[in-house]
Amino acid sequence: MKLKQIIRDRFRNDVFKRDNHRCKICGDSTSKLDAHHITDRSEMPNGGYVKENGITLCDKENGCHVKAEQYHISDGKQWVEGLHPEDLYRIIKSSKDLAIQKSKQL
C-alpha cells in the first residue's frame, strides 16, 4: 500500500472512531458516511489529513456531506446554516489553527 493511501485511511479511520461512526450533524449511522475535510485539502499543509480537520458526515443524497460541500463549491460564498467550517470545527472541538499545526506534523 502506498504512503498516501495509508495516510488517507488513517484520516478516515481516526475521524470515524472519534465520531462514533455517526454523522455529527444529523446523527445518522446507517447511511454511507464520509470523512469530510473541513478546510479544503489544497489549503492545508500535507493535505490536511488529520482528525482535527475532519468530521463524519452522512453521504446520502442531499445529505449533510453534500450540504457542507456548498462552502467549498462556492469558494466560501455560500453555505448551509450550521455547516460553515467554523461551525464544523466547533462541533469537533477543534480549530483551523490546530488543524494546520497537526497537518504540518504529517
Residues 72-104: tens digit of each pLDDT: 999 999 999 999 999 999 999 999 999 999 999
Is the pLDDT at 27 greater than 90, yes or no? yes
Share of the chain above pLDDT 70, in %: 100
Query: Sign of dihedral through CA atoms 64, 101, 103, 15?
Result: negative
Q: What grid cell was written down for 7?
A: 495516510
- pLDDT class for 49, splitting at 50, 70, 90? very high
Q: Which amino acid is at 34?
A: D
Task: Give me the mean pLDDT over the 7-16 stretch.
Answer: 96
Q: How many helices (H) and strands (E) does the chain have?
A: 4, 2
47: Cβ contacts below 8 Å, ≥ 6 apart: 7, 41, 103, 106
Share of the chain above pLDDT 90, in %: 92
3-class secondary structure, 106: coil
Helices (H), 1-106: 3-18, 64-73, 85-91, 96-104
Q: What is the pTM of this model?
A: 0.94
